[in-house]
Each structure stands twice: as structure tokens, then as C-alpha cells.
Amino acid sequence: DLGSNMTIGAVNENGSFRGVYKTAVSGSSIKVPPSPLLGYQHIIQEMSQPTFGFTVHWKTTESITVFTGQCFVDKEGKEVLKTMWLLRSHVDSIQDDWKATLVGTNIFTRMSPQK
């Protein structure tokens, strides 16, 4: 919903997956390169709407984002990932802990293949 995208590899038999996250959003002027992600999906029936979680390790900052959510399939058969996230940034002291974590939501949809 903000122009970011991710490429996720196949989910293995244990429910784990890897991928790359390309953010379109940054709190600084530094361009953020594609960053690795690692996650797990709840393995249930084939025609289910599974829950999942994944972590993104940002390469240019001392921060980590964790996403958790569920994959829904709408009436037209379109997949929609509804997520909530926590972004934890490094701070130098416990007194600054109050400003180290941001919370938000994102909605992801599958991109159409480019021709």
C-alpha cells in the first residue's frame, strides 16, 4: 500500500520461507537497498488462509522489522496479505527506549508479472 514490495521464495515443508524486501519508505535520506527477510507460515489445508510472520533485517540501519499477519483470498480470488509490524531501532541508552519502537500496518497484494 506504500509502494514497497517483496519477493518471497517457496514455503518449505516446515513452513519457513526466505525472500527480499524492497522498501519505498525510509525515515532518513539514505537509500535503503533490498534487505533479506526470513519467515514462517502456519501450514494448514491447501485452500486455507494461513497466518504468517517474517523479519526484515535492514542493511543500512541498526534496525529490525517484524511483520505478522494473515493471507486472505477475496471474492475475486485475489490474495491479500494483511499485516501489523513493529520496527525496532537501536538507541544508545535505556532512557531513549521509549522512542525505539514504531508500530504500523501494511496491506500487500500480488504484483502482476511484468511483460
Q: What is the pLDDT of residue 61?
A: 83
Domain assignment present for 24: yes
Q: What is the pLDDT of residue 112?
A: 72
Domain assignment present for 54: yes
Query: Which is nearest to 40 in space by CA: 13, 64, 59?
Result: 13
Q: What is the pLDDT of residue 28?
A: 64
Q: What is the pLDDT of residue 77?
A: 87
Domain assignment present for 53: yes
Backbone φ and ψ for 96, nearest 5 degrees, come out as -95, 5
Query: CA angle, 18 as apex, 72 and 7 as ends, to 5°?
Result: 65
Number of folded domains in the chain? 1
Domain assignment present for 36: yes
Domain assignment present for 55: yes
Q: What is the pLDDT of residue 51?
A: 93
State the CATH number of the domain containing residue 40.
2.40.128.30
| Averaged pLDDT in 10-residue chunks for the chain of 115 residues | 80 93 73 89 80 92 93 90 95 96 92 67
Owning domain of residue 83: 5-109
Taking the C-alpha atoms of residue 57 and residue 76, their distance in angstroms, rounded to an integer, is 34
Domain assignment present for 115: no
Domain assignment present for 73: yes
Domain assignment present for 114: no
